Amino acid sequence: MIRIKICGVTTVEQALACAALGVDAIGVNFVDSSPRRVDVQTARAIADALGSSTLLVGVVADMPVSTMRGLLGEARVGCLQLHGDETADQVAAMLPHAYKAVRVGSAEDVARAEAAPGAYVMVDARVAGMLGGSGHRVDGSLVASLAKRRRLVLAGGLTPDNVARAIVEVRPWCVDVASGVESSPGVKDMARVRAFIEAAKTAI
């Protein structure tokens, strides 16, 4: 069964609405440059509202290990998605409460994703000057073989219109969406969220 993560949630109300639709995970973004960035207090409020029903994932980039460890407790997130240029040692130091996100645009990038420590790895589209949330697709043919060997989280340009096709092509463990279900950055369109979930769950 495909898992679904809605990323870049910015309010308690959005989080609860997504959880009510049956998503498996919700992402909150702590990256300063992101239009979806939230503070620790907001993340903690979302975590408290969700309880244990839905995994809350914190998105970070290039934080020291000590800061990441502190954030896990302060924000009450279940795990961290490391979206910067973290080293393998930094990722390993955070296991099992973290996974690496790798921006993929070539076979060399896929090899870097393959080498990332841990059971889980995310692939997102490589777009110059952006860490993620670009709305660009990953070339599924590059990462389909990786999905057979790792618990692969597929992100990058997914929408209600293309997620089923992407699932059939890649067979990921989880699909992750942010901009593809928004009316504006950080504002989720719940009709699009619902359509995304329905499309993902009906993919064969």
Alpha-carbon Rg for the chain, nearest whole angstrom, is 15
CA distance 73 to 65: 13
Q: Quick check: helix, strand or coil at residue 130?
A: strand
Distances (CA, A) of 140 to 106, 155, 157, 170, 178: 11, 11, 12, 6, 18
Amino acid letter at 167? I
Q: Which residues are catalytic?
A: 7, 124
7/18 Cα distance (integer angstroms)? 10
Count each helix (H run) and each strand (E run) in the chain, helices first. Answer: 8, 10
| DSSP per position, 175-201 | EEESGGGEEETTEE-HHHHHHHHHHHH
The CA distance from 26 to 46, in Å, is 10
Whether the CB-CB separation of 203 and 163 falls below 8 Å is answered with yes
Which residues are CB-neighbours of 89 under 8 A, at least 6 positions away?
none
